[in-house]
Amino acid sequence: MDKRLRKTERVLKVQEQLQKMAEWKLADLSRQAADLRNAQETLIQTLNDDEVLHGLFVESRARRLQTLAGEANQVDEAQEAQRKVVLERSMQVKRTERMVETLAEEHRRASEKKDYLMLLDSLASKNDASLP
């Protein structure tokens, strides 16, 4: 019983680490999305400027803006998929936590039962020894 509890606790630790890794990946994707949005906003601001020299590079900046928009869509899709992964990992951690709690309770009860039986045996053996 104790061996099973220790194994389940190790599984829980691994699942918690996997959950943290999934959360880190989601945070990284969020940073990427924010960087892409900032780059798009900067590019749009430069396209909106009325200076003469900027007019020469409108086509290349428009292509870059389209590329950034495509990358942003890919990152958004990856973020959504990663949110699902994080949710699944969180649910796995919760299920395993409940399993660990259940096993710990069973182990505690078995230990108490064993202690009570040993106490009863010692009390019974003392009474037998005192009889003539």
Domain that holds residue 83: 2-130
Q: Residue 90's closest CA among 10, 5, 19?
A: 19
3: Cα within 13 Å, side-chain hemisphere:
0
CB 71 within 8 A of CB 36: yes
Q: Output the CA–CA distances (angstroms, integers) from residue 7 to 14, 25, 110, in the order listed.
A: 11, 27, 18
Residue 89 has pLDDT above 70, yes or no: yes
Range of lowest pLDDT (22-31, 44-53, 71-80): 44-53
Q: What are phi and psi of 49, to 5 degrees?
A: -65, 145
Residue 130 has pLDDT above 70, yes or no: no
Mean pLDDT of 76-103: 95
Q: In the chain, pLDDT over 70 holds for what percent of residues?
A: 89
Q: What local confidence, expressed as pLDDT, does residue 48 receive?
A: 77
Confidence band for 120, pLDDT divided at 50, 70 and 90: confident
Across 72-101, b (16+ Cβ under 10 Å) vs e yields: beebeebbeebeebbeebeebbeebeebbe
pTM over 0.75: no
Q: What local confidence, expressed as pLDDT, does residue 109 receive?
A: 93
Residue 54 has pLDDT above 90, yes or no: no
**Total of domains in the chain:** 1
CB 67 within 8 A of CB 18: no
Q: What local confidence, expressed as pLDDT, does residue 60 receive?
A: 82
Residue 129 has pLDDT above 60, yes or no: no
For the chain, the first-to-last Cα distance in angstroms comes to 42
CB atoms within 10 A of CB 3: 7
